[in-house]
Amino acid sequence: MLEKLNFIEARYEELAQVIADPEVINRQEEWQRLVKEHASLEEIVTRYREYGKISKEVREAEELLQEAQDREFRLMVEQELDELKQKQDSLLQEIKLLLLPKDPMDEKNVVMEIRSGAGGEEAALFGAVLFRMYSRYAERQGWKTDVMSSSFTELGGVKELIFTIEGKGAFSRLKYESGVHRVQRVPTTESGGRIHTSTATVAVLPEAEDVDIEVNPNDLRIDVFRSSGHGGQSVNTTDSAVRITHLPTGMVVSCQDEKSQLKNKEKALKVLKSRLLDLAQQEQQSEYAQNRKSQVGTGDRSERIRTYNYPQGRVTDHRIGLTIHQLEDFLDGNLEPMIQSLAQTEQAERLQASEHQA
């Protein structure tokens, strides 16, 4: 590990000189790529240098302890040595985490899909609650939300809703949301006061860019039709809605939210590409998943991951056994404590796996 860290530090220093070279600065595309690489190494180099400084202080304290004769002075040095070793261990854990391979999708925007599950109208209404929750979370992060395709019930519930969230690192935070979300509450459509259990399914896909996946236009069948609203009534007098079928996979994406056929086509293609990228990733990871199914991660979308219990005002994530008792605050978009715990658990699992392999 030390050899790898020395190499990273040397590369960091080399890049610092290169990106200051006027000739390289003039080659903007190359310069931006090198600046990005330099920035990606900064945190690990900073921690490594801190670790080196602390390690030196530990050695000095150990030497001082061997030479010390006075009892009170020895106790003081021992206490300082304990504190230094704790810092040393903590930095070492941070460095190990930073050395873990990063998910190349983590920095991407996301395409999210919410669909009502078991529970009829109540499940659809819960889907609308989830959409508001993710929209509020995006607002808190300074991210942008854009609806791509939607299908609502008469009461405003979500049959199916596809939307993007654009922001730095959006996928790294939201990828843990894929799965079945369960709600326990007295439905707004019920007057009897009985608690019902309903579900909605959430899928989180990294937004595909042209460099990620290439779609052959000959593999697409594009149909246009008139947009329809609640109950199926026509809301547009022109054929602005678009349905794209990917012939090799049979995958179908429809979009009718925009008045422009061109915009609907662009949005449908964006969703299709993201689904195809996700499919390719799943195929690549299938062998790994068979060998070791991670407790946390993008995982199986049929897995029940979380329960929202309204009567008791709590939300429980079943993958990590964490319960938060501020349900209202959580539904208002304060997801970060839960997401942080999920991310830390996944990091710990990956670290354990890497140490086991080593």
SS3 23: helix
CA distance linking residue 13 with residue 31, whole number of Å: 15
Quote the CA–CA distance of 333 and 315 in Å, as a whole number: 13
What is the pLDDT at residue 138?
96
Whole-number pLDDT of residue 238 = 59
pLDDT at 356 (0 to 100): 63
What is the number of other CB atoms lying within 10 angstroms of the CB of residue 303? Answer: 12
From first to last of the 358 residues of the chain, give the pLDDT tens digit: 788 898 999 999 999 999 999 999 999 889 988 998 898 899 899 999 999 999 999 999 999 888 888 888 889 989 999 999 999 999 988 888 888 777 778 888 999 999 999 888 999 999 999 999 999 999 999 999 998 888 898 888 999 999 999 998 899 999 999 999 999 998 876 766 788 899 999 999 888 876 667 788 888 898 888 766 544 444 445 578 888 899 988 888 888 877 888 888 888 888 888 888 888 877 766 544 443 344 455 445 567 899 999 999 999 999 999 999 999 999 999 999 999 999 989 888 888 777 666 5
Q: Regarding beta strands 179-185 and 196-206, do their DSSP bridges make them parallel or antiparallel, or are they unpaired?
A: antiparallel
Say what the pTM is. Answer: 0.70
Residues 279, 297 contacting (CB under 8 angstroms): no
Q: Bridge-partner residues for 322, per DSSP? A: 317
Question: For position 357, what pLDDT does the model report?
Answer: 61
- Cα-trace Rg, the chain: 26
- Helical H runs in the chain? 2-18, 22-26, 28-67, 71-99, 120-141, 170-174, 261-291, 327-331, 336-357
Are the C-beta atoms of 44 and 98 separated by less than 8 Å?
yes
Beta sheet of 241-246, edge-to-edge order = 220-225, 241-246, 251-255
So what's the pLDDT on residue 91?
A: 92
Phi, psi of 53 (to 5 degrees): -65, -45
User: Quick one: which of 116, 119, 114, 110 has its CA closest to 143?
Assistant: 110
Residues found in the chain: 358
What's the rounded Cα separation, in Å, for the pair 141 and 174?
12
Q: Which two tokens stand for residue 262?
A: 């061109």
DSSP conformation letters of 61-82: HHHHHHH---HHHHHHHHHHHH
Whether the CB-CB separation of 224 and 187 falls below 8 Å is answered with: no
CA distance 227 to 236: 6
Task: For residue 258, report the phi and psi dihedrals to the nearest 5 degrees.
Answer: -90, 155
d(CA 277, CA 283): 10
Tokens encoding 220? 């697409």
Q: Which positions ≥6 away from 148 have C-beta within 8 Å?
A: 111, 162, 163, 164, 255, 257, 267, 268, 270, 271
Q: Where are the alpha helices (DSSP H) in 100-213?
A: 120-141, 170-174
Distance between CA atoms of residues 31 and 43, nearest Å: 20
